[in-house]
Amino acid sequence: MKVGVVGGGAAGLVAAITAVRNGAEVTILEAEARVGQKLLSTGNGKCNLGNLVLDPTCYYSGDAEFVARCLSRFGTKDTLAFFAELGLLTRDKNGYLYPFCEQAGAVLDVLRNEASALRIRVISERRVTGIKQDSRSSFLVQTGNECFSFDRVILCCGGKAAPKTGSDGSGYRLARELGHKVVPVVPALTFLKCEGDYFKAIAGVRTQARISLQNDRGEFLAGDQGELQLTEQGLSGIPIFQICRVAAYALREGNRVWAEVDYLPQISEKELKRLAEKRLPLQKNRTLEEFMTGILNKKIMQLLIKRAGLKGTAPANVMSLEKLESLLFEAKHFKTEVIGTGDFQHAQVCAGGVELSQITDDFESKRIRGLYFAGELLDVDGKCGGYNLQWAWTSGFLAGNAASRTV
Ligand SMILES: Cc1cc2nc3c(=O)[nH]c(=O)nc-3n(C[C@H](O)[C@H](O)[C@H](O)COP(=O)(O)OP(=O)(O)OC[C@H]3O[C@@H](n4cnc5c(N)ncnc54)[C@H](O)[C@@H]3O)c2cc1C
């Protein structure tokens, strides 16, 4: 059985290794000079390769039950066993899994070593430009002037996030040309661009916050909590990454989106009211800035005072308690309009992709027998925390396994 794997990224390498272990003869056609380039930049160079807490709710997709079934067939334990067999030591940091040496290169090395030990043919610098079905059981795969023939093909081209690592979105085109529907693709796990010239003044601040995205009618769209990073363009950090796909889709549909930031997520409004009442008599002779000192990050506090049309040097005790309270409440309801997201170059993954309704539980196309899909190319994207690589390992393993099976 001759299996062609298009794209030697995370999913493609696991699919190829699995198929060869099942007795197939495997060729990887890779667009870049080397396989697995994206892996090297994952997890800030440390590669967060999975998570001990693996739950279908950590994924967005067109079919949550399909994702749950796949994860139950190849989950975290299977990932750890797979890499242990390749000789990779791993470590767990609060459930987040990394190679023990915390170097992403180690994950790529063990995959490449295994591919070479199993004599997988890797043909690099070959971007696949077209795929045709020759007869019922054979595929002709075109790369520039060359043509390769395979019994089965696994498409593992990734999405179009971080295109400099090779994933330029050509996989979506190939899938469409072969008659598959693709759910609109938007950048995910990236920052939000927000309205407001004040972001320059607070850029660089990192603070705990709760963020909720809202629509025009003030209805909740998505939310998360964690360390927020302020940038010159708007909001960033893990909690923003987790929800930005929702903003990307809403904006794509022409809707307006607001981000409401709660800079004091640990303190309820009631507690804040009590705090203001207690604090005012103690801070009688202080300025407004001094009154606020220590409650909020200084730059955020100065911005709130300015936005309220007040002066930080003004004495706090000439202000009414209500005014001070409303200033503090503003810290819990800081609203800014979202005008965009980071582009594909700045996104860690893509949301959207090949519709799941078009593939079987074995990742085989329902339209074309012998054609398989794996990885980010599919309409599945995970949260931060090792979930996207887990999806690449899961889908790569299951597709590689099925594609090498003889009927
Ligand atoms: C900066 C960054 C950090 C990340 N950190 C993490 C993390 O710590 N943990 C985590 O779980 N996820 C992380 N991710 C996401 C994760 O890397 C991806 O979800 C995962 O690599 C997807 O695997 P894939 O094999 O589907 O696609 P890719 O890894 O993108 O591989 C696709 C391969 O196909 C090749 N290719 C594309 N088109 C063609 C074609 N037409 N012909 C031939 N070859 C082609 C490409 O060159 C590439 O080698 C991160 C992503 C980025 C960008």
**Residue 255 token pair:** 């809707």
Atom 53, ligand 1: residue with shortest CA distance: 348
- Per-residue pLDDT of 12-43, as tens digits, reads 999 999 999 999 999 999 999 999 999 999 99
Atom 35 of ligand 1, residue of closest alpha carbon: 7
Max distance between CA atoms of the chain, in angstroms, equals 87
Q: Which of 196, 202, 214 is nearest to 263 (CA)?
A: 202
Residue 324 confidence (pLDDT) above 70: yes
Taking the C-alpha atoms of residue 99 and residue 264, their distance in angstroms, rounded to an integer, is 36
Query: Any idea where the domains of the chain sit in the sequence?
Result: 2-185+352-403, 191-342
Give the pocket of ligand 1 (CB within 6 Å): 6-12, 29-32, 35, 37-38, 41-43, 47-48, 127-128, 156-158, 161-162, 165-167, 170-171, 348-349, 375-377, 386-389, 392
Say how many Å lie between the CA of residue 137 and the centre of ligand 1.
29
Q: What share of the chain is helix, strand, coil (3-state, %, to 5)?
A: 40, 30, 35
Q: Is 94 exposed, middle or buried (0-12, 13-18, 19+ CB in 10 A)?
A: exposed
Going from the Cα of 147 to the center of ligand 1, the distance in angstroms, rounded, reads 25
DSSP class of residue 376? G
The dihedrals phi and psi of 349, each to the nearest 5 degrees, come to: -145, 175
Q: Which CATH architecture has domain 2-185+352-403?
A: 3-Layer(bba) Sandwich (3.50)
* Nearest residue by C-alpha to atom 30 in ligand 1: 158
Shortest-distance atom of ligand 1 to CA 377: 26
Average pLDDT, the chain: 95
Strand pairing report for 152-155 and 371-373: parallel
Q: Whose CA is nearest to atom 51 of ligand 1?
A: 348
d(CA 352, CA 349): 10
Out of 51-60, 235-244, 299-308, 349-358, least confident range: 299-308
pLDDT at position 321 is 77
The pLDDT tens digits of the residues spanning 107-131 come to: 999 999 999 999 999 999 999 999 9
What are the φ and ψ backbone dihedral angles of 117, each rounded to 5 degrees? Answer: -60, -35
H helix intervals, 226-297: 238-252, 269-282, 288-292
Residues 291-297: contacts with CB within 8 Å, 24+ apart? 291/316, 291/324, 292/327, 292/328, 295/264, 295/328, 295/331, 296/263, 296/264, 296/331, 297/205, 297/207, 297/263
Give the model's pLDDT for residue 8.
98
What is the DSSP annotation of 42-56?
GGGGT---EESS--G
Q: Closest ligand 1 atom to the C-alpha of 127?
A: 42
State mean pLDDT over 182-201.
Answer: 96
pLDDT-based confidence at residue 407 (cuts at 50, 70, 90):
low
- Between 101 and 284, the more confident residue is 101
Q: Which residue has the higher pLDDT, 156 or 327?
A: 156
The residue among 170, 182, 120 whose CA lies nearest residue 143 is 170
pLDDT of the residue at 72: 98
385 three-state secondary structure: coil
Give Cβ neighbours of residue 349 (< 8 Å, ≥ 6 apart): 159, 161, 188, 189, 376, 381, 382, 388
Is residue 104 scored above 90 in pLDDT?
yes
Ligand 1 mean position, distance from CA 383 (Å): 15
Closest-CA residue to 316 (of 324, 304, 306): 324
- Ligand 1 centroid distance, CA of 184 (Å): 18
Residue owning tokens 């796949």: 70
Helix (H, G, I), strand (E, B) or coil at 398: helix
Predicted confidence (pLDDT) at residue 73 exceeds the cutoff of 90: yes
- pLDDT value, residue 302: 92
| Cα 81 to middle of ligand 1, angstroms | 22
Mutation test residue for ligand 1: of 103, 146, 346, 389, the one with most atoms within 8 Å of CB: 389
Relative to the CA of 395, which ligand 1 atom is closest?
Answer: 26
| Ligand 1: nearest atom to the Cα of 35 | 49
Q: Which residues contact 303 (CB under 8 A, 6 or more apart)?
A: 198, 201, 202
Q: What span, in angstroms and rounded, lies between the C-alpha atoms of 211 and 224?
A: 6
Element housing 81 (H / E): helix 76-85
User: pLDDT band at 136, cuts 50/70/90?
Assistant: low
Q: What percent of the chain has pLDDT over 70?
A: 99
* Span 143-156, average pLDDT: 96
Give the pLDDT of residue 119: 97
Q: Give how far the C-alpha of residue 278 lies from the chain's centroid of Cα atoms, to the nearest Å.
A: 44
Does the pLDDT of residue 308 top 90, yes or no? no
Whether 309 shows a pLDDT value over 70: the answer reads yes
Phi, psi for residue 134 in degrees, rounded to 5? -80, -55
β-sheet with 90-93: strand ranges across: 50-51, 96-99, 90-93
Of the listed ranges 2-6, 69-73, 264-268, 282-286, the one predicted with least confidence: 282-286
Apex CA 238: angle with CA 328 and CA 167, to 5°?
145
Q: For ligand 1, atom 52, name the residue with the nearest CA.
A: 348
Best residue among 6, 42, 345, 393 to mutate for probing ligand 1's pocket (most ligand atoms within 8 Å of CB) is 42
Distance, CA of 246 to CA of 190 (rounded, Å): 11
DSSP 8-state class, residue 162: S
* pLDDT exceeds cutoff 90 at 137: no
Residue 319 has pLDDT above 80, yes or no: no
**Alpha carbon distance, N-terminus to C-terminus of the chain:** 11
Judged against a pLDDT cut of 80, whether residue 50 lies above it is answered with yes
Pocket test for ligand 1, best of 13, 32, 38, 76 (most atoms within 8 A of CB): 38
Closest ligand 1 atom to Cα of 392: 23
Q: Work out the average pLDDT over 265-292.
A: 84
User: How far is it, in rounded angstroms, from Cα 361 to Cα 358?
Assistant: 10
Cα–Cα distance for residue pair 230/189, rounded to 1 Å:
16
For ligand 1, mutation pick of 157, 172, 378 (most atoms within 8 Å of CB): 157
Cα(264) to ligand 1 centroid in Å equals 36
> Residue 47 Cα, ligand 1 centroid: separation in angstroms?
12
Three-class SS of 217-244: CCCEEEEEEEEEEECCCEEECHHHHHHH
